[in-house]
């Protein structure tokens, strides 16, 4: 039985090494990090349609002369408080790697823009939650917008490896 356990561990490590991170353009399109038009979907509606896992990245594209991105606490998000961010980004093309599970709160550095809707909550789930616990990614029609073209194939590869892993475990258990 001990030999079986160690092989299972090796197979699990092999499966995890095939997981790919996804790069999302915030808002699903170029330069979407701006005050939403009244008839437009909010940035949070876009975020709710996506499934973010640890290791994914967000790309904020914006006019550097008018905008910035602040990572803030929940309280500062709700109040659009720009005075004490956890982290401040001002480069015009900002990539933020999501390195832990839980909520991330982003607001625009211009308080007026934040009050008018230029803010987003991104909830990150752990790799284990999304792939081992039966969580399904958002459907491709919901999730296709805003994913950088370099990230394709990760779910297919993960599904194939998961099937292989399950068959391998069954062969050792039986």
For the chain, percent of residues with pLDDT exceeding 90: 45
Domains of the chain: 2-8+20-173 (2.60.40.420)
For range 114-127, the mean pLDDT: 92
Q: What is the pLDDT of residues 138-161, one digit of tens each?
A: 433 344 445 454 444 444 444 444
Full strand arrangement of the beta sheet holding 52-53: 52-53, 119-125, 102-108, 69-72, 87-89
Beta pairing, strands 87-89 & 69-72: antiparallel
Question: Does position 11 have pLDDT exceeding 50, yes or no?
Answer: no
Please indicate whether residue 65 or residue 131 has the higher confidence score (pLDDT): 65
């Amino acid at each position: 039985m001990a030999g079986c356990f160690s092989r299972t561990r090796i197979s699990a490590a092999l499966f995890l090494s095939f997981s790919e991170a996804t790069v999302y353009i915030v808002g699903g399109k170029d330069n979407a990090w701006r005050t939403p038009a009244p008839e437009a979907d909010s940035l949070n509606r876009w975020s709710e349609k996506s499934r973010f896992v640890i290791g994914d990245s967000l790309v904020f594209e914006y006019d550097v002369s008018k905008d910035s991105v602040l990572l803030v606490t929940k309280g500062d998000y709700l109040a659009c408080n720009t005075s004490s961010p956890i982290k401040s980004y001002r480069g015009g093309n900002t990539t933020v790697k999501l390195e832990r599970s839980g909520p991330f709160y982003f607001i625009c550095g211009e308080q007026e823009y934040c009050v008018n809707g230029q803010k987003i909550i991104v909830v990150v789930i752990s790799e284990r939650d999304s792939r081992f616990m039966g969580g399904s990614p958002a459907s491709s029609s919901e999730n296709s917008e805003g994913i950088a073209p370099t990230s394709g194939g990760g779910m297919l590869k993960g599904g194939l490896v998961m099937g292989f892993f399950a068959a391998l475990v069954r062969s050792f258990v039986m």
